[in-house]
Structure 1
Amino acid sequence: MKNNQNLSILFWLFRAKATKDGKAPLYARITIDGAEAEISLKRKVHPDFWDVDLKIDTQQNQEAKKTNAKVITTQGELDAHFTVLQTQYETITPQMLKNAYLGKPLFENKKEDTNQVKLPTLLDAFNDYITIFEKKVEADLRDDGTLRHWRTTRGKLLTFLNSKYQLTDMELSNVTYSFAEDFYDFLTLDIDQKLADATAKTHIKKTKQILTGCVNKNFIQNNPLSDFSCGSQNKEVLPHELYELEIIYNKFLPIKRLEEVRDAYIFQCFTGFAFQDTYDLSPENIVLIGSNKERWLIKDRGKTGVTEMVPILPIVEQLIEKYKDHSCRRNKNKLLPINSNYRYNAYLKELADICGLSAQNIEDREFHTHRARHTFAHIMLNAGVPLEDVSRMLGHKSIRTTQRYCKVHKPRISENMKKAKSAIFTKTGKFRKVA
């Protein structure tokens, strides 16, 4: 079926509805063949900071960041829905596209039996979950990054439904175990940017979670994906040894971007902060603790909401001082100059080569942001810091998570065994008498 209609999307401020502080609601105007429909993005922007051409809020704060992310996801989702509808219908109206985006039926059913309870579809269930999640993000109960992950999963699912079944949605009763197998194959084998095993299973895990919610609400009797294993083999990440960190820290780097990446990486290795949390750190996250005013870094983890609290070590203090006059501090109120995650990891590979510590195709020895976090756990545990304290500093919800991070040196095992041996046995190898 061929559809040659063109879609235009305009993001605009409804200034007539501006609030007392001057902020106006942000809308998306869908135009198809001259017909229009509008969608509220449920965000407000002051007209002085709205760039009409770039479609962004130009302010440097978290609210602007959320608004700009909402614009990008809305544009992407509308484009994706429109592409799918083009394969199904000869003519698409703006209202059809709006309904598809909102997870509503494409066409109004005026003769609907009001006594019949309409069960949600698969995408209905996703949309309901995401709508509630959006409210939790606005109330600072959930992280905006996690919300983006849920929207990504919904987008992948929509593309899969169109590719595999030529559908824009699916009844819950039609979801079977093979759905998960097909979805996994699609994500790892069929799409242009093929996903790794763990990433693909993350999307299926989210789909399973939605279906479990449908079971709890009595929309379906059981979860058809319950037996599909979303576990992945935990690849061991080898932490850095201290001598490697010394090489990295002392390496002369004439290229500024590599020097900044090196400093950020060392910062991570001695604080345990994940990439996004390191990126978000500001001077306000430095807190004075106790009567001696010890400087700590304290921040809620974006991923879990659990508070990380780490005393600032001397090497970290030096890095904070180094960038006190940097533009990242003056203009963006950031503690360190941090690149995007993609560029950061790419530059780390350059850094590894320059330092003579390249992984040589051994995946668990690669330089990447998460290896720094493992390194912090490794250093702290082997310095005698109790596991419970390491877990708290990493912001883990469970000590079991921390245990996966930590590797104990043979010297420490040997030292602890000597203590145990001395407590249990005499020098001649006999049992000590219990007092």
Structure 2
Amino acid sequence: MKTTNTFGIRFFIKNNLIKDGEAPIYSRITVDGTRVDISLKRKINVHDWNPVLGSAKGSKESSKSLNHYLKELESRIIQIYQEFQIKKNPISADAIKHELLGTETKEHTISMLFEYHNEKYRNVLAWGTLKNYFTTQKYVMAFAKSQYGKDDFFLQDINYRFLNEFELYLINYEPQDHHKRLSNNGIMKHLERFRKVINLALRMEWMVKDPFAKFSLRYQKVEREYLTPAELKQIEKKKFDIPRLSYIRDLFVFACYTGLSYIDTVNLKNHDVIIGIDEEYWISISRQKTQQKSNVPLLPQALDIIRKYMDPDRAYAKGKIFPLISNQKLNAYLKEISIICNIKKNMTFHLARHTFATTVTLLNGVPIETVSKMLGHASLKTTQVYAKVVEQKVSNDMKELRRKLGNSK
């Protein structure tokens, strides 16, 4: 584990700038392979310079005076480096140069970038999405502390090696609480969010090189679970004696027949239900996550649930159709429902969205373009993850083909 930097100082003359037999003297500071040159505003006759020792030759007074100056300057640079180490400041050759010259550094750090991003998008991104950026920031900062012994890190020092080591850090990360270890796709999500904030830094011209230019994200294909028609009917028909479970079941079934996410469901307002072009009831909203427009014709099952909760003494009086419940509690209660209904699947609210995309729509022959529009996806490619071949659909299609071929024969 790396906790120190490689650090070096040397003095040299620039032979390509010789004039009248004299060359300017420079100091070169190197940190972790990155170097900066500083003009000392002094010149020396090239014959009086020792390039091996990086100092003036001879015992004359001018040589002694110059060497004394170089020694003091070297001590000052070392002192700055050590002060950065003690204060746990991000260390770079440029930072040392700015401290030495007393100039204002224009370098930006990881924490500055995340803070700027999170403030900039605070009213744009959904809270759940923004919270994920906070988590990614926490992992990046913990990595910088663990791997480099730094409380922060200069953006210009982020390179392919940094990203590769960060990925390994996430792979080997052992959670201290009840959470599971990060999956491959969970790690890729953190790297994807980090890449987005790095792209912001590039647009702001806080970075020159893109460290992600040669870095590839490697997602593993995951089969999306969904409820079969039989499982969905089983949940619909189940009678619950506990009111909270009955309510959670209604919310879940509503999402199965509309494809709405958790946040769009609990934020659904009475004026979001409109009369569509077919004179039937529709839901018309802008998805909170993507701000994409989503227009969904209301199926009878979903409309019945809306009517059930249009109670002026409850949430409907405040403009929202459904009483608010946190996503965490909702998913915890769904686990109870899955046990009661003997459904051996990971019952989360997002499973309802998968069920709408597959069992309710695609399985029943609704074109994927239509499904994509109702889900509020910006790209058809996003919808295609739901369009796995469903065996029942294959069976139905082949039955129809047999019928046609039989008639033809």
* TM bucket normalised to smaller: 0.5 to 0.7
Give the Cα–Cα distance (whole angstroms) in 1 for the partners of residues 407 and 235 of structure 2. 45
Structure 2: gaps (5+ residues): 1-84
- Please report how far the alpha carbon of residue 190 of structure 1 lies from its aligned counterpart in structure 2 after TM superposition: 3.4
Secondary structure in 1 matching 2:239 = coil
Give the Cα–Cα distance (whole angstroms) in 1 for the partners of residues 404 and 397 of structure 2. 11
Q: Does 1:277 align with 2:258?
A: no
Q: 1:373 to 1:119 in 2, by over 3 A?
A: same
The alignment covers a number of residue pairs equal to 314
- Please report how far the alpha carbon of residue 236 of structure 1 lies from its aligned counterpart in structure 2 after TM superposition: 0.7
1:353 paired residue number: 339
Secondary structure in 1 matching 2:194 = helix
2:242 paired residue number: 255
1:155 paired residue number: 138
1:7 paired residue number: none
- Please report how far the alpha carbon of residue 284 of structure 1 lies from its aligned counterpart in structure 2 after TM superposition: 2.0
Q: What pairs up with 1:4-403 in 2 under 5 angstroms?
A: 112-113=102-103, 118-134=106-122, 137=123, 141-188=124-171, 189-193=173-177, 194-216=181-203, 219-290=206-277, 292=279, 294-325=280-311, 328-330=314-316, 332-357=318-343, 359=344, 365-378=345-358, 379-403=360-384
8 Å CA contact 1:288, 1:295 repeated in 2: yes
Secondary structure in 2 matching 1:190 = coil
8 Å CA contact 2:202, 2:210 repeated in 1: yes
8 Å CA contact 2:156, 2:208 repeated in 1: no
Larger CA Rg, structure 1 vs 2: 2
TM-score by length of 2: 0.67
- Please report how far the alpha carbon of residue 220 of structure 1 lies from its aligned counterpart in structure 2 after TM superposition: 4.1
8 Å CA contact 2:248, 2:330 repeated in 1: yes
Secondary structure in 2 matching 1:298 = strand
8 Å CA contact 2:184, 2:220 repeated in 1: no
Give the Cα–Cα distance (whole angstroms) in 2 for the partners of residues 426 and 321 of structure 1. 46
Q: Give the counterpart letter for 2:186 in structure 1.
A: T
Residue deviations 1:342-398 (CA, integer Å, cap 9, x gap):
2211111111111122x2xxxxx3211111111101121122222111101011111
Q: Give the counterpart letter for 2:331 in structure 1.
A: N
8 Å CA contact 1:208, 1:226 repeated in 2: no
Please, which of 400, 405, 408 is the counterpart of residue 386 of structure 2? 405
Give the Cα–Cα distance (whole angstroms) in 1 for the partners of residues 267 and 194 of structure 2. 29
- Please report how far the alpha carbon of residue 146 of structure 1 lies from its aligned counterpart in structure 2 after TM superposition: 3.0
Residue deviations 1:314-337 (CA, integer Å, cap 9, x gap):
111111122222764256533223
Moved over 6 A (4+): 108-111, 418-426
8 Å CA contact 2:270, 2:316 repeated in 1: no
Residue deviations 1:70-102 (CA, integer Å, cap 9, x gap):
xxxxxxxxxxxxxxxxx9659xxxxx9xxx9xx
- Please report how far the alpha carbon of residue 426 of structure 1 lies from its aligned counterpart in structure 2 after TM superposition: 8.7
Q: CA RMSD in A?
A: 3.3
TM-score by length of 1: 0.63
Give the Cα–Cα distance (whole angstroms) in 2 for the partners of residues 355 and 382 of structure 1. 23
Give the Cα–Cα distance (whole angstroms) in 2 for the partners of residues 338 and 344 of structure 1. 10
8 Å CA contact 2:255, 2:352 repeated in 1: yes
